[in-house]
Amino acid sequence: MKIAIRECDNVRVVDQDDILYCKAEGRYTHIFIRHDKSILTSHLLKEIESALSDYCFCRIHNSYLINLNHISTIKKHKMLVLKNGVELPIAKRRNKLLIEHIEKLDIDFI
């Protein structure tokens, strides 16, 4: 599924699978996509979150929304590592929600 994202004078069409994570920066959101590219948009993270599919994205922190398909490791329920090595904090109160979203992906915990 694709999403159109407004940035400055352009509109970029991005496949949701290519989005690694989104980071809130004040009234802006930085959207990080594959191959070390990023898009800066004037939309709030909350708006980006509602536009993306609930199934593959999860808010792990007030400032971070991640694509569940790019998770590599969860460290002590405090830090999340993406497949590209980027580490992002997990808010204590959002930890349970993250685990619930991962379970929806049919990933077994052992």
Task: Give per-residue pLDDT as tens, 49-87.
Answer: 999 877 799 999 999 999 999 999 999 889 999 999 999
Domain membership flag for residue 109:
no
| Per-residue pLDDT reduced to its tens digit, 16-58 | 999 999 999 999 999 999 987 899 999 999 999 999 877 799 9
Phi, psi angle pair for 96, to nearest 5°: -60, -40
pTM assigned to the model? 0.90
CATH number of residue 55's parent domain: 2.40.50.1020
Query: Domain count of the chain?
Result: 1
Domain that holds residue 96: 2-104
Tokens of 96: 């349970």
